Amino acid sequence: MKTVRCGEDARTAPVPAHRQTACRLLRRKRAAWRRLEAMLEDQRQLYNAALEERIGCHRKTGKGLSYFDRCRALTECRRDIPGMAACPVAVQRGTLKRLDEAFRAFFRRVKAGGAPGFPKFRGRRSFDSFSAVSGVRVRGGRIHLPGLGGMAVRRKGGNPYPDGKPLSAVLKRTGGKRFVTVRHSVHAEGPADSGHAVGVDRNAGQVADSDGVIHAMPDMARLEAKRRRLARKVSRRRKGSRRRERARRQLAKARRKAASRGSQAEFICVACGHAANADVNAAKNIPASGTGASARRGALASATPATREFSTEAA
C-alpha cells in the first residue's frame, strides 16, 4: 500500500479493494418466487452432479477435476442439453466455483492436520444459496441478476458504494427471507494513523475496550429461553407440515440472535488484589501485549503478572 505524507499526517492513497454489501430482497409476485426456487433447485442438482463426477473421476484415474475442467464440460452440456442452456451460465459457473472452493478448503484442512470435512451432497434444506459471478448490475434500489431481471432491494442507509463496480452477487434464503450480498470493486482510502491503539475484548455477552467503556450485548438469558421454547415447539409439530416448517424458521432466527454467552464475572488479581471487570482488564492488556510489554517485564516497576492491569507509573 502506497503511503503519502503531508506535513505530520500520514494518509494512505486510494488502492483497489473489494467491499461487500448485504441487502434484503423485497416482496415479489408468486411467480417470481417460484422462478427463484426453481433456479435454486437446479443449482443444487448441478452441485451434486459435479461432486459425483469428481468423486468418480478420482476413483477411476486417481486425479481430480479442476474448476476449468468443469467449465469446459459445462459448455458441452449446455450445447447438448436444452434444459441447462435455459439457465444463465454466470449462475452455473458460480455453483461450480462454490464446489471448487469447498475442495480447496478440504485440502487446506488436510494439509494443516485438522478435521478434513470432505464436501457432502446437499439436500434441499442445506442448499439455500446460489451466486452469479458476472453480469451483476445495481441501479438505485434495484439489483439486476442474470436470468432474473431487476429485483427491488432494501438496505438501511442505501448503497455505501454507488461508484463501485459490482463483480458478483450471492442470493441466500435465511429464515424464510431472502438476502442479496453484492461484492463491489472500489478504490478505498485507508484511515490516517493517529498512533493511538485501542484494545477490544469480546467475551461473554458484552464488549469492553481499553478506555474502560463496556458495550452491552443483548439479553442472552431471554434469547436462550426463547430458543428453548421454540425448539420444543418444533418437536411437537408433525414432520412435513407447514406449521413445523414455520416453527423451524422461527427457531433458526432465534439461534442467529443468540450468538453470545451470558454475563462475565469480575476479575480479581491474586497477586495484588486489583479488582476490575474481566473484559475491561483484558482489553487494557491487549495493547500492551501487542507492543511487547508483557515480554519486557524489566520495563515495568515490578514483575507484574500477565493477567494484571498494566501500569505506567514508576515504583
Mean pLDDT of 75-81: 90
Residue 58, all three cell numbers: 478420482
Q: Which residues neighbour 160 within 8 Å (Cβ) at sequence distance 6 or greater?
A: 19, 21
More confident position, 163 or 3: 163
User: φ, ψ for residue 248 (rounded to 5)?
Assistant: -65, -35
Comparing 191 with 52, which gets the higher pLDDT?
52
Specify the pLDDT at position 218. 58
Q: Indicate whether 135 pLDDT > 70.
A: yes
Q: What is the model's pLDDT at position 292? A: 44
Q: Helices 67-80 and 30-61, interaxial angle, to 10°?
A: 120
SS (H, E, C) 10-35: EEECCEEEEEEEEEEECCCCHHHHHH
Strand ranges, E, within the chain: 3-6, 9-12, 15-25, 129-132, 137-139, 142-145, 149-154, 165-174, 177-188, 200-202, 206-209, 214-216, 266-268, 275-277
Comparison of pLDDT for 5 and 84, the residue scoring more: 84
pLDDT of residue 120: 93
Predicted local distance difference test score (pLDDT) of residue 310: 39
Q: Give residue-wise pLDDT tens across range 169-182.
A: 999 988 778 889 99
Question: For residue 14, what is its C-alpha cell?
Answer: 486510494
CA atoms within 13 A on the CB side of 147: 21
Q: Which residue has the higher pLDDT, 134 or 189?
A: 134
pLDDT higher than threshold 70 for residue 285 = no
